[in-house]
């Protein structure tokens, strides 16, 4: 009796559909936890990188030097990525046109693209977490309903409706729901937390883009006046 009611035994003796459901939920749970860990590390690193870049940016260093510090082929992230995209576009346009408005438009467009890439990078796989969080309870419920259907079918075939004939079926059916909840609950919690963190980071990037835009604007304005004079 003890053996037949233990969880591994129940899982092994369950019907195929319920076993598939449980397998799916297990995989979903493992993947969601992988996403949770990976996103947590990414967010923490992005925070640290943003802080250090802002320090350097506002330390009074020449923007050309800052731009040259990083080799062009190296991929950058976050605010630095936005800065490099904007500055590169600014330098290129400065050589071709004299209209400050055209330059600023081009810089802004290029920075928006960079920001959009950053947003995409930060929100990567968070949708998967959301999917697991919302779908796995239903999947588990499906497994439970299927298992209870099976138990009632076996009950109709048995002559004696004892608790012992029904109990294993119901137990293994309920295990499916338990696993669905086990996968869904951490997914929900960490989806909320990670998405909030990513939107905060994206807000910071946006702020930085605006500030950088105003610096470039100031710079262009000075040059135009100097050229006119």
Partner 1 sequence: MARRHARVGYGLPTLLAVGLHVLVLLVSIVSLPARDTEPDSSIVQATLVSTETVTDQAQRAEAARARARERQAEEQRQAEEEAAREAEAAAAEEQREAEREAQRQAEEQAREEARQAAEAEAARRAEEAEQETRRREEQRQEEEARRQREAEEQRQREEEAERQRQAEEEAERQRKAEEEAERQRQAEEEAERQRQAEEEAERQRQAEEEAERQRQAEEEAERQRQAEEEAERQRQAEEEAERQRQAEEEAERQRQAEEQRQREEAARRAAEAADQGLDRAIEGESEAVANAQQGQEAANDFIALVRRAVEQAWVIPPNVPSNATAVVTVRLGPSGELFAASISNSSGDSAFDRSAIQAVEAAAPFAELRQLPAAVQRDYRQFNLRFRPGDVSS
- Contact pick of 62, 73, 75, 120 for partner 1 (by CB under 8 A): 75
Residue 12 CB burial class (10 angstroms; 0-12, 13-18, ≥19): exposed
Alpha carbon distances (Å) from 152 to 7, 155, 225: 21, 5, 87
45 contacts partner 1 (rule: CB under 8 A):
yes
CA 13 to chain centroid, in Å, comes to: 37
38 lies in the binding site for partner 1 (CB under 8 A): yes
CA 62/CA 17 separation, integer angstroms? 65
- With H, G, I as helix, E, B as strand and everything else as coil, classify residue 97: coil
Residue 169, SS3 per DSSP: helix
Q: Is residue 72 a contact residue for partner 1 (CB under 8 A)?
A: no
Q: Give the span between the Cα atoms of 152 and 10, in whole angstroms.
A: 17
Identified binder of partner 1 from the candidate list 22, 24, 25, 35, rule CB under 8 A: 35
Position among 14, 42, 111, 216 found at the interface with partner 1 (CB under 8 A): 42
Write down the least CB distance from residue 57 to partner 1, Å.
Answer: 13
Among 12, 20, 23, 41, binds partner 1 (CB under 8 A): 41
Nearer to partner 1, 193 or 217 (CB): 193
Q: Which is nearer to partner 1, 163 or 229 (CB)?
A: 163
Picking from 100, 71, 97, 93, the residue whose alpha carbon sits closest to that of residue 84 is: 71
> Smallest distance from the beta carbon of 168 to partner 1, in angstroms?
10
How many alpha carbons fall within 13 Å on the CB side of residue 95? 5
**Binding to partner 1 in span 102-161, by CB under 8 A:** 158-160
Please report, as ranges, the residues that interact with partner 1 according to CB under 8 A: 1-2, 5-8, 26, 29-31, 33-38, 41-42, 45, 49, 52, 69, 74-75, 77, 158-160, 162-164, 167, 182
């Amino acid at each position: 009796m003890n053996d037949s009611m233990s969880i591994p035994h129940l899982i092994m003796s369950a019907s195929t559909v319920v076993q598939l459901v449980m397998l799916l939920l297990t995989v979903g749970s493992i993947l969601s936890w992988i996403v949770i860990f990976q996103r947590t590390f990414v967010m923490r690193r992005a925070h640290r990188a943003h802080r250090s870049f802002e320090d350097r940016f506002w330390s009074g260093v020449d923007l050309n030097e800052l731009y040259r510090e990083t080799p062009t082929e190296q991929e950058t992230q976050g605010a630095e990525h936005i800065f490099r995209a904007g500055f590169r576009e600014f330098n290129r346009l400065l050589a071709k046109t004299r209209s400050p408005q055209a330059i600023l438009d081009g810089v802004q467009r290029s920075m928006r693209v960079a920001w959009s890439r950053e947003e995409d990078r930060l929100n990567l796989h968070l949708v998967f977490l959301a999917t697991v969080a919302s779908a796995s309870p239903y999947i588990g419920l499906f497994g439970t309903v299927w298992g209870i259907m099976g138990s009632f079918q076996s009950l109709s075939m048995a002559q004696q409706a004892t608790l012992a004939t029904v109990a294993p079926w119901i137990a293994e059916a309920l295990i499916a729901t338990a696993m669905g909840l086990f996968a869904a609950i951490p997914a929900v919690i960490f989806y909320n937390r990670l998405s909030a963190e990513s939107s905060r980071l994206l807000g910071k990037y946006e702020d930085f883009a605006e500030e950088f835009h105003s610096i470039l604007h100031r710079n262009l304005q000075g040059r135009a006046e100097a050229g006119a004079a």
